[in-house]
């Protein structure tokens, strides 16, 4: 019968495992250490060089409406609804004076359709009446539109206008920023501040898209596919599956 490993030996092997893990992570530091952030960005760039917004749209206004519809709903479902919707309502004026009951039924598959109808009609009216039917291009102005908070404003500013004013923090970015130890916060506003401090500004727009793509494809909420993840060696999340 093979001899059981002595306590001393198993202690040594545990120490050796711990030191190997620590050597792997210490090569690029921990948390928001700049070398580690660079390594994360390089790996995301490698995996998703062309990550972009998955919501179908042809102009900033359509992107705004699609983003409002995407709250608590998948982009796929929004993309099923919007082509017919944008044909029926070809711009801010058409949405501003839409029949609410009819609009509710048209966007019903995206969920929360009563509130979303109020937001869409309210935002469209304000765009028509106060912004000459053009989507405003500053964070402060966007935040005055009904139904628009920082996430939606950041999507529109980043994707439609190429302006890095903040970082989009949706459910994927929230989860991954914590798993990658780029924040300890749970409040989206604080997470955004942490990411703005850790990530170089010229990467803010692409970085958010890349995290969203990674969250959908690999680092999923329930069963992250760590074995397929190219961030595996520098990730020490307690949610890891390998």
| Known catalytic membership, residue 20 | no
> For ligand SF4, which is the closer residue by CB, 42 or 102?
42
Closest distance between ligand SF4 and the C-beta of residue 215, in Å?
8
Q: Kindly state the helix (H) or strand (E) to which residue 53 belongs, with its residue range.
A: none
| Closest distance to ligand SF4 from the beta carbon of 24 (Å) | 12
Binding segment for ligand SF4 (CB under 6 A), chosen from 26-34, 150-158, 159-167, 228-236, is 228-236
* Part of the chain binding ligand SF4 (CB under 6 A), chosen from 11-19, 116-124, 198-206, 220-228: 220-228
* Residue whose CB is less far from ligand SF4, 116 or 179: 179
For residue 49 the two structure tokens come to: 């060089």
The CA distance from 201 to 192, in Å, is 12
Q: Applying CB under 6 A, does 231 fall inside the site for ligand SF4?
A: yes
Residue in 99, 121, 126, 110 with CA at minimum distance from that of residue 69:
110
Among 68, 107, 135, 219, binds ligand SF4 (CB under 6 A): 219
Sequence-separated (6 or more) residues with CB below 8 Å from residue 175: 215, 219, 221
Q: State the sign of the Cα–Cα–Cα–Cα dihedral 132, 137, 140, 143.
A: positive
Judged by CB under 6 A, the stretch of 8-16, 18-26, 121-129, 217-225 that binds ligand SF4 is 217-225
- Catalytic residue, candidates 4, 75, 140, 151: 151
CA nearest to 120, candidates 80, 53, 67, 168: 67
Q: Cβ(192)–Cβ(177) under 8 Å? A: no
The Cα-based distances of 156 to 46, 153, 169, 191, 237 in angstroms read 25, 5, 13, 19, 31
Question: What are 98-105's contacts with CB under 8 Å, separation 24+?
Answer: 98/124
Tell me the window of 26-34, 61-69, 201-209, 227-235 that interacts with ligand SF4 (CB under 6 A).
227-235
Instruction: Tell which positions 175-204 bind ligand SF4, by CB under 6 A.
Output: 179-180
Taking a C-beta distance cutoff of 8 angstroms, is the pair 202, 160 a contact?
A: no
Choose, from 116, 126, 170, 181, the residue flagged as catalytic. Answer: 170
Our answer to whether residue 170 is catalytic in this structure is yes
How many residues bind ligand SF4, per CB under 6 A? 14
**Is the Cβ of residue 36 or residue 179 nearer to ligand SF4 in the bound state?**
179
Instruction: Write out the catalytic residue numbers.
Output: 151, 170
Residues of this chain that interact with ligand SF4 (CB under 6 A) are 179-180, 218-219, 224-226, 229, 231-232, 235, 237, 239-240
């Amino acid at each position: 019968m093979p001899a059981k490993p002595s306590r001393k030996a198993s202690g040594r092997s545990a120490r050796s495992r711990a030191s190997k893990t620590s050597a792997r992570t210490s090569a690029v530091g921990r948390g928001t250490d700049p070398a580690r952030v660079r390594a994360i960005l390089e790996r995301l760039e490698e995996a998703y060089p062309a990550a972009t917004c998955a919501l179908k749209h042809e102009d900033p206004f359509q992107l705004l409406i699609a983003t409002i519809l995407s709250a608590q709903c998948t982009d796929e479902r929004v993309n099923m609804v919007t082509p017919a919707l944008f044909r029926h309502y070809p711009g801010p004026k058409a949405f501003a004076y839409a029949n609410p009951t009819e609009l509710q039924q048209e966007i019903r598959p995206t969920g929360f359709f009563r509130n979303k109808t109020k937001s869409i009609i309210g935002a469209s009216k304000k765009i028509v009446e106060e912004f000459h039917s053009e989507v405003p291009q500053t964070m402060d102005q966007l935040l005055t539109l009904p139904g628009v908070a920082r996430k939606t404003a950041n999507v529109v500013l980043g994707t439609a206008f190429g302006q890095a004013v903040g970082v989009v923090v949706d459910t994927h970015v929230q989860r991954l920023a914590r798993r990658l130890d780029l924040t300890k916060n749970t409040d989206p506003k604080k997470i955004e501040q942490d990411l703005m401090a850790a990530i170089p500004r010229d990467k803010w727009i692409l970085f958010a898209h890349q995290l969203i793509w990674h969250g959908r494809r690999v680092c999923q909420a329930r069963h992250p596919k760590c074995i397929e993840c190219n961030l595996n060696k520098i990730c020490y999340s307690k949610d890891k599956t390998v």
